[in-house]
């Protein structure tokens, strides 16, 4: 019969070149490492398999007597049908879950995980909206307490400031964050799945208010004379001259422009473009002249319309809408509404619908029917948008007649 293990025997056990174990009886052993460290281990059988589990703190923090008592507690669990290793694993998961019980903690973990696969600019954009929109409102809210009604009110508030595209992205990110949180076991709730049903009754038409052509002269004159950021005013005018989406316009990069050829080429997969389509935009003379002037201010940066606080980033998504509100057009005109205004005006003047749809970047250009030669198609749009830009100048200067060349 082996001698009973004692404290003196443990202290006298000298380290060896390789780790070794000293039995303390009933599966309890002391693992002695070459560096002199000593760890308690328990060998046991569960469901026909032999397992081993660490027991408490290392020796001498956990004495022989305490280690034996802890081993007895673990053996009782085994006798009752509980695997102590599995119990410990679940307790660790529970601690992790409790550490991420607020939306802010879940969102930060989600961002850290997802950002690894995103392009740099995408990660920067999501980070911007997290810090600006989501976290200030939802950050400290417990995940299980967040309701569909709460999120509906939250996203509607974003829409009401004239940023429907941001509200749409926020709904997508909310869905992704809650899906991630459920997968991690931090919550079982899903307040986002029914969000679309609650949001739709607000009506998509109210998302993009826009002026009639008769009201445009007032806007143009106020925009020209108003004391505001030259960069933001330029971004508003480029939207009026091109009909590109606000998110694409505000993130315009200098390397997308060829001012000598008067074209703006948006590559496939570019953030801000719906479904990532590529798009070539002809630039009217007015736009080229404006961009050459702006180049003197921002030409050394990546973005054309640089942010006020950080020139490494573009202006915010709400900059143009904020300007429109200051001009007195709250609820009457938004940056996205420029597209509706231009589409209406061009259609009323009888321009080819295909030209207008292409100018608005509706549909994948690689799949557009080959009715027109691509080069001719671009030139037709160039003439159309130059006529529109000239007409805007005339309206600003007080003209009362339409200057479009009709395309019946």
Residues carrying an active site annotation? 245, 274, 336, 339, 362, 372
How far apart are the C-alpha atoms of 245 and 338, rounded to whole Å?
A: 9
**258 backbone dihedrals φ, ψ, rounded to 5°:** -125, 95
Look up residue 251 and give its DSSP letter: T
Q: Which long-range contacts (CB under 8 A, 24 or more apart) does 199-202 make?
A: 199/152, 199/155, 199/156, 199/171, 202/156, 202/159
Q: Is 384 left (phi over 0), alpha (psi -120 to 50) or beta?
A: alpha
Please state, in angstroms and as integers, the Cα–Cα distance from residue 120 to each residue in 9, 76, 250, 252, 362, following that order.
60, 54, 17, 16, 26
Please state, in angstroms and as integers, the Cα–Cα distance from residue 280 to each residue in 75, 217, 251, 256, 266, following that order.
73, 28, 15, 10, 6
Look up residue 206 and give its DSSP letter: G
């Amino acid at each position: 019969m082996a001698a009973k293990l004692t404290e003196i025997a443990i202290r006298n056990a000298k380290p060896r070149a390789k780790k070794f174990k000293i039995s303390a009886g009933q599966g309890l052993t002391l693992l002695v490492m070459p560096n002199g460290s000593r760890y308690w281990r328990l060998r046991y059988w569960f469901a026909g398999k032999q397992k081993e589990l660490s027991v408490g703190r290392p020796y001498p923090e956990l004495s022989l007597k305490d280690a034996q008592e802890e081993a007895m507690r673990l053996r009782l669990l085994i006798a009752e049908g509980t695997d102590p290793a599995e119990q410990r694993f679940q307790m660790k998961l529970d601690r992790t879950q409790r550490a991420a019980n607020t939306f802010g903690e879940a969102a930060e973990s989600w961002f850290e995980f997802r950002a690894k696969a995103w392009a740099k600019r995408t990660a920067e954009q999501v980070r911007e909206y997290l810090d600006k929109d989501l976290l200030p409102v939802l950050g400290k809210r417990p995940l299980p307490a967040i309701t569909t009604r709460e999120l509906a009110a939250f996203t509607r508030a974003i829409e009401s400031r004239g940023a429907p595209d941001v509200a749409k992205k926020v709904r997508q990110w909310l869905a992704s964050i809650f899906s991630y949180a459920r997968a991690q076991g931090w919550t079982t709730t899903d307040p986002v799945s029914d969000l679309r049903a609650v949001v739709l009754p607000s009506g998509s038409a109210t998302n993009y208010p826009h002026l009639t052509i008769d009201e445009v002269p007032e806007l143009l004159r106020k925009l020209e004379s108003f004391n505001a950021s030259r960069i933001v005013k330029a971004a508003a005018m480029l939207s009026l001259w091109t009909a590109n989406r606000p998110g694409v316009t505000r993130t315009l990069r200098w390397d997308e422009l060829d001012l000598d050829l008067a074209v703006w080429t948006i590559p496939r997969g570019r953030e801000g473009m719906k479904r990532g389509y590529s798009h070539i935009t002809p630039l009217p003379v007015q736009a080229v002249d404006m961009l050459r002037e702006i180049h003197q201010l921002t030409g050394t940066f990546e973005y054309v319309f640089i942010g006020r606080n950080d020139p490494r980033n573009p202006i915010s998504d709400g900059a143009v809408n904020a300007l429109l509100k200051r001009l007195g057009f709250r609820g009457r005109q938004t940056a996205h509404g420029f597209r509706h205004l231009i589409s209406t005006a061009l259609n009323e003047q009888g321009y080819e619908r295909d030209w207008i749809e292409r100018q608005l970047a509706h549909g994948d250009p690689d799949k557009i029917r080959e009715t027109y030669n691509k080069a001719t198609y671009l030139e037709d749009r160039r003439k159309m948008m130059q006529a529109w830009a000239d007409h805007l100048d005339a309206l600003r200067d007080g003209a009362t007649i339409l200057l479009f060349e009709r395309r019946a």
